[in-house]
Amino acid sequence: MIAVEPLAEMRAILAEKVPAAEPRDGRAESLPLADGSVDALTVAQAFHWFQASLALAEIARVLRPGGQLALLWNVRELSDPLQSQLQALLAPYRGSAPSEHDRPWLELLEAEPRFGAVSLRSFSWTQPHTSSELAERIASVSFMAALGEDERAGLLAEVARLVAGLPEPFGFPYRTDVYTCARLDGEVSAAAG
């Protein structure tokens, strides 16, 4: 298993936690892999950060014809009242940070001639949380970590108020969305990078 990661610190953690993995320095837009050398490529909770058209060209370059692309996201289940309230609380702080609920990349993937039809499968699950675990989870979100200390503390206090009085651990429902498609046969144009 090869894992491409631009941050040396993350590659070091991966090497420590998953010794069977082969971490390589790279980015989605410039993969350190040979043409047609990959049977399957997965992107978990990250494709929305990529320059989608460049990343799709690179993915098409490294996937063999018939190879599979899988894009995965854990999506907060907004039909749940707690998740919906949390979404409303966080929305003003998100700024330009992409959301797992937005999918601007999907139209590009569906129009990409080097890939076949995109299919979606979703899997519901619930993660138990205590109020302190939820605060840690929310504090780890990229746009939360970028807030000033006082603003962040105030927002985390609001999160604590949302769950005050719930029996712990409480259920926090998610859905994992898995988008898959196959690399089609045909010529691959040189990828940007």
Is residue 82 included in any domain, yes or no?
A: yes
pLDDT at 188: 54
Q: Whole-model pTM?
A: 0.83
C-alpha torsion sign, points 156, 135, 71, 49: positive
Task: For residue 156, give both structure tokens.
Answer: 């985390």
Q: Which residues of the chain have pLDDT under 70?
A: 96-101, 187-193
Is residue 119 included in any domain, yes or no?
A: yes
Is residue 19 included in any domain, yes or no?
A: no
pLDDT at 101: 64
Is residue 5 included in any domain, yes or no?
A: no
The alpha-helical segments, DSSP class H, found in 20-148 are 52-62, 81-94, 104-111, 131-139, 142-145
Is residue 24 included in any domain, yes or no?
A: no
pLDDT at 22: 93
Question: DSSP per residue over 78-112, as a string?
Answer: TTSHHHHHHHHHHHHHHTT---TT--HHHHHHHH-
69-to-9, 61, 81, 121, 186 alpha-carbon distances in Å: 26, 12, 33, 13, 16
pLDDT at 190: 44
Q: What is the CATH number of the domain that holds 48?
A: 3.40.50.150
**Contact (Cβ atoms closer than 8 angstroms) between residue 54 and residue 192:** yes
pLDDT at 98: 61
Domain of residue 174: give its range. 33-182
Antiparallel, parallel or unpaired: β 38-44 and 63-76:
parallel
pLDDT at 191: 42
- Give dist(CA 41, CA 69) in Å, integer: 5
Is residue 56 included in any domain, yes or no?
A: yes
Number of domains the chain is built from: 1
Is residue 8 included in any domain, yes or no?
A: no
Is residue 27 included in any domain, yes or no?
A: no
